[in-house]
């Protein structure tokens, strides 16, 4: 599963991405080989969207949803907007759970 984290510059999401990777590594249920992560600025989302399984959107770009949706909707990519508190804590476990739930819901619709 490829999880794309998207923010204004890709810098703070890199820290969140590392926290999500650590969550997978520590998990008894999740296997590191099943996941790939990339943190990018929203400006290059178009180039990373094709093999994306879940999009994680940082709170600082939540207002850009009107720009993001037309890019991801043709690919039926589920997305999660991380709330300010979770993002501030760099709570990778919570974001990982939200991403997995979003993907599962999308799969159930198919």
Positions annotated as catalytic residues are 7
77 φ, ψ (degrees, to nearest 5): -90, 120
Contact indicator for 88, 13 with CB cutoff of 8 Å? no
What the block records as the tokens of 22 is: 């650590």
Q: CA quadruple 86, 59, 11, 20: dihedral positive or negative? A: positive
- Crossing angle between the packed helical segments 92-109 and 12-26, to the nearest 10 degrees: 80
């Amino acid at each position: 599963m490829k999880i794309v984290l998207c923010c204004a510059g890709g810098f703070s999401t890199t820290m969140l991405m590392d926290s999500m990777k650590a969550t997978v590594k520590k998990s008894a249920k999740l296997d590191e080989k099943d996941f790939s992560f990339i943190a990018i600025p929203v400006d290059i989302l178009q180039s990373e969207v094709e093999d994306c399984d879940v999009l994680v959107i940082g709170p600082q770009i939540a207002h850009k949803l009107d720009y993001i949706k037309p890019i991801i909707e043709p690919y039926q990519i589920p997305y999660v907007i991380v709330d300010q508190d979770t993002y501030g804590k760099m709570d990778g476990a919570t974001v990982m759970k939200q991403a997995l739930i979003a993907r599962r819901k999308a799969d159930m619709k198919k």
